[in-house]
Structure 1
């Protein structure tokens, strides 16, 4: 095998390991990732799995970054072409519902970051810091769109973007719980009504 093909095969194998890690961690948490479990699931040797990451922590961090990339592709990228401000924010909110409803093959345990934040919120270390960093980045993105909406006159001048972002995050945590724990078919529509009310739709 040529060095180029060997490198490409290594990248494909690494990606397979990360994909499976994301699926496992969404159900069992990042601490549920074990080299033995992955080796069995992927029909690899333990040494073969470990050789791509070196440590369990490195595997956990790789799974977090992959989950973040999937979230961005599913929620942010479909909304990004929309006009900045309230139009884009509404597109984000709708894509976010779709993400929680339909990404069941990728995230069989529901929202990856809800699981990770509960698992690591009382711990220290690089994994906890990465979970916090990624969630802070997402909150800042929401705040940015809310500020644009205020500047454009789409929301009242007295609107507090940080407060609205805080409440949006709470709404979507509730949606994840309603889907995952209660299998509530009304949850997506309830979420839409909550978002419309929060963003000033007088019809709800």
Structure 2
């Protein structure tokens, strides 16, 4: 009986934690991680402040848990979706498509969560900056590795720097996200898509059908 009561408390705690993190990733993407507070979350979600404190212990731990939760969402919506494509140029183009969709569909209501918090924590040393930097490094490494796979498949010219190409691609994606959030318009996404297409056509050793047309 005592074990069942303990299991029930643990499950309720897990449910509350999920509820809180669903809210914090939304706030973080729109207002930044500094906007988070245990008191605010308790009030907005109609929870006890002591209960929220028991789950996270401090604002910093709440921020770190939010970065981890956002990373899982990003993994599901961007990285895993891209990995469903075969490695090579098709995966690289697919990565561009899923990233633009992730931003356009507002998986996070403030646009790209990590673009928001990178700016916020670029000059704030500490554990949260470390977590944001680690997530950013993992993402950029993934993009560069995707470029390298296309080069190893002979689909992108081998003389082109994978690091530079990855930088240029992410710059196009992030610019479209910033402009769309700022203006409330979807117009930046086809412009980014056209830029990615032109960039990939310039480095591709052949021109597959998905790069030839004007559409997605």
In the superposition, the TM-score normalised over structure 2's length comes to 0.89
Deviation at 1:202, TM superposition (A): 6.7
2:36 paired residue number: 33
Structure 2: tracts of 5 or more residues without a match: 202-210
C-alpha separation in 2, matches of 1:203 and 1:16: 43
C-alpha separation in 1, matches of 2:174 and 2:119: 11
Alpha-carbon contact 2:104-2:186 (below 8 Å) kept: no
1:132 paired residue number: 133
Return the index of the structure with the highest Cα Rg: 2
Structure 1: tracts of 5 or more residues without a match: none
C-alpha separation in 2, matches of 1:138 and 1:185: 24
**1:33-65 deviations in whole A, cap 9, x for unaligned?**
011110111101111111101010000000001
C-alpha separation in 2, matches of 1:50 and 1:198: 49
1:43 paired residue number: 46
Structure 1 residues 43-192: aligned runs within 5 Å: 43-103=46-106, 106-192=107-193
**1:98-147 deviations in whole A, cap 9, x for unaligned?**
100113xx522111111101101011101001111101101111111111
C-alpha separation in 1, matches of 2:198 and 2:213: 8
Partner SS state of residue 181, structure 1: helix
The structure 1 segments of at least 4 consecutive aligned residues displaced by more than 2 Å after TM superposition are 201-204
Deviation at 1:80, TM superposition (A): 1.2
C-alpha separation in 1, matches of 2:162 and 2:152: 11
Give the aligned CA root-mean-square deviation in angstroms.
1.4
The alignment covers a number of residue pairs equal to 202
C-alpha separation in 1, matches of 2:71 and 2:186: 26
**1:151-196 deviations in whole A, cap 9, x for unaligned?**
1110112111000111111111101111100123321111111111
Partner SS state of residue 72, structure 1: helix
Deviation at 1:203, TM superposition (A): 6.1
2:206 paired residue number: none
